[in-house]
Structure 1
Amino acid sequence: MTLSKKMPQTLCVTSGKGGVGKTSFTVNFAIALTRSGNRVLVVDGDMGLANVDVLLRLSVKNNIRDILESGADPRQALIFARPNLAVLPGSSGVPEMVSLGERHQDRLAGFIRQISSDFDYVIIDTAAGIGSSVLWYNRFSDHSIFILTPDPTSMTDAYALIKLLSRDQGINGFNMVLNFVRGVREGNHTVETIKRVTQRFLNLGLSHLGSIPEDKAVRQAVLDQVPFIEQTPGSKAARAVHDLAGKVGSLI
């Protein structure tokens, strides 16, 4: 009897607003998962302004746009950035890729499924906002992880995206990671606020996976184009991401 491969867990990392550290989280979270022996595929789902390759200093020859247009084997576009960590690069500076049509959605879904059987986790880093590709990636994935900050505009935009995904896409499970937190009091207040609003107006519960403190090591690592979990493994932010990776089994 032939045993079928176990399908990976697909995690969609998303946000309603740019500038919340979503891509930095994705890259560092993926590395943390590999350190537990997991094989991880990162899909750069920001179809117009891809930058996972920038944070990992990758030289990209083929990207998502190329394989969608050519129909080539998607493995040709994979780049192994680290042991057990592969990246499917997105396209950059191509505005027409921001809105994926149904044909491209179906083809991309097939590509991701085709290559994902070699991995334990697939992490999709979406664009910010409520574009059609963002909605589709969240619907396609097993779990949605929202990145937000204590900034009121971040909370407002996150709520708008959650409302849209719940109302129009039928998604009712949302996981939240709070980034750039300046203290326990600020973090607790932000979490309580967004939870209260989503429960009252959407009748939805949010799972707070954890918070990442504001840390100068993160800013320096971004400038140096190096994951902070590698550059400063003992930093507060790095320890927090490792803790979050340990909670991947509790995603809703």
Structure 2
Amino acid sequence: MKDQAEKLRNIMKNKPNKNNIKLSQDRAQVLAITSGKGGVGKTSFSVNLAISLKRLGYKVLILDADIGLANIEILTGINMKYTIEDLIKSDKNIYDIIEEGPEGIKLISGGSGIHQLSMMDDKNINKLLEEMENLEREMDYIIIDTGAGISNIVLDFVMISDETILITTSDPTSLMDAYTMIKALTTNGYKGKINIVINIVENRREAENIFNKLSKVSQNFLNVNLNYLGYLQRDVLVNKAVKIQQPFLILNPSSNISKKINVMALKLINPVKYNEKKENLGFVQRLKALLFGRDR
């Protein structure tokens, strides 16, 4: 696929304890939260997962890579003053464009600057990489909230992540789009783990049936194994949280949906059933590959 995603890819891990001390390797774990279509709760999941990881003692940053939409701002009630575009085009540094979100999670808005990555000159590329490298050394988790769909820019960011969390629902179009995303990742040689979260379901049985169907077709036709991260039931708390711009994990931490988010966070930091050796390239190294692989 000769697009900017392939270009960003073709150039050029680490658990802290609850006191935020790095125990190994000097780079953040990068999680891409994505979906085949919009309206499946991707951004809400990203924000609440980040808060859950923060409560476990990890330093967490969300990069809002959904171009043109301000969903992170809407869900958190935080006004993002600057974006990556200000980092690229002005004298702002990475810390100038970071906003502090709920319970101390960090937020960066990609804005239109995300779309300009493939058009940057060498000076701007080097500045971006240097700033992101500083950030990568400080954070434990960088969560990329991608746009919905399967555009080139969405694939760019998913392809350079350590793990993907693919959000889907029971809706047939959502499932088809989720499969299409899995196929696109597989076709392009994605090496990370693909985690599946089934959202807006009635109960555990429904969620497991949906996952089993998606897993079976992925194994049979793509020869790829999916990891079942968990499910979230339909809950009026989610709509209430959106209306008052407060993450549901804060609004009602003892709710069933909040507990399920916490369980998924624990699975991510302790993947006892996933022992494959991870590629030891950091986010910035893979970002270099994507940026410098451009045609000159």
> What does 1:82-161 align with in structure 2 at a 5 Å threshold?
82-91=102-111, 94=112, 97-98=114-115, 100-101=117-118, 103=120, 110-161=130-181
CA distance 1:190–1:220, shift in 2 (3 Å):
same
**Would you say the 8 A contact 1:150–1:178 is kept in 2?**
yes
Distance 2:130 2:200 in 1: 36
Q: Which residue of 2 aligns with 1:44?
A: 64
Structure 1 residue ranges without an equivalent (≥5): none
Does residue 13 (structure 1) correspond to residue 33 (structure 2)? The answer is: yes
Larger relative contact order (CA 8 Å, sep ≥ 6): 2
Q: Which residue of 2 aligns with 1:162?
A: 182
Does residue 195 (structure 1) correspond to residue 215 (structure 2)? The answer is: yes
**Would you say the 8 A contact 2:76–2:102 is kept in 1?**
no
CA distance 1:10–1:203, shift in 2 (3 Å):
same
Distance 2:90 2:160 in 1: 22
Q: Which residue of 2 aligns with 1:67?
A: 87
One-letter amino acid matched to 2:178: A
Larger C-alpha radius of gyration, 1 or 2?
2
Using the size of structure 2 for normalisation, the TM-score is 0.77
Give % identity.
36
Which structure has the highest strand share of the two?
A: 1
CA distance 1:213–1:17, shift in 2 (3 Å):
same
CA-atom RMSD in angstroms: 2.4
Q: CA deviation at 1:110?
A: 4.9
Distance 1:48 1:61 in 2: 14
One-letter amino acid matched to 1:219: N
One-letter amino acid matched to 1:121: Y
Secondary structure, in 3 states, of the residue corresponding to 2:107?
Answer: strand
> What does 1:176-187 align with in structure 2 at a 5 Å threshold?
176-187=196-207
Secondary structure, in 3 states, of the residue corresponding to 1:34?
Answer: helix
Distance 2:131 2:30 in 1: 14
**Would you say the 8 A contact 1:100–1:133 is kept in 2?**
no
**Equivalent residues, number:** 247
